[in-house]
Amino acid sequence: MKVSSIDSDNFTTSLEAKSVDWKNEFEPFRAISVINKPVYADAYNIKISPDKKSNLLVKEWVAKGETSIQSLKIYFLNSSRVKRLEATFKQTNFVFTSRKNMILEFTVLGTKPLPERYEISGHQKFFWEEPQDYKLACEILTK
């Protein structure tokens, strides 16, 4: 099930997995891969620490200055199984400002992690109008 909202208006959609364009569905999360480019090698403070709220290990990137990806956290179980990722994006130019928070959670089926749920939320503001808040939440049910 997918629930989206813009300001206070909510929309709900249910789709069969075979009818979803998964490449397009997860496209916003592909932007995180730029963090691995050589040009960003010194742009982030990186640390690994135990999560204070769970038994997971967290690898965290925090931007030292202005970059589009402000932070990234990847939560691991047993230091190898990805359970969750969180990313914060910020974009500012002369036309608009935007802030986006993304969460992607995984479950394990057999030995492979599978996406279980994701959420994209934030706000954007064009210089000529009021800011708009938005949220997109999706739960992926496996049988």
Provide the pLDDT for residue 73: 96
The total number of residues shown for the chain amounts to 143
Coil vs helix vs strand at 110: coil
Strand partners, 82: 76
Paired tokens of 84: 């969750």
Q: Is 79 left (phi over 0), alpha (psi -120 to 50) or beta?
A: left
Which of 115, 91, 110, 97 shows the shortest CA–CA distance to 34? Answer: 91
Domain locations in the chain as residue ranges: 2-139
Beta bridge mates, 52? none
> Average pLDDT for consecutive 10-residue bins of the chain (143 residues)?
61 69 82 88 93 92 91 88 93 87 88 86 85 84 66
Q: 70 in helix, strand or coil?
A: strand
pLDDT given for residue 124 in this prediction: 86
- Could you give the dihedral angle defined by the CA atoms of residues 99, 100, 101 and 106, in that order, rounded to the nearest 10 degrees? -160
Is pTM beyond 0.85 here?
Answer: no
Distance CA 2, CA 118 (A): 9
Task: Name the residue type at position 44.
Answer: Y
pLDDT of 126: 84
> Tokens for 45?
């403070």
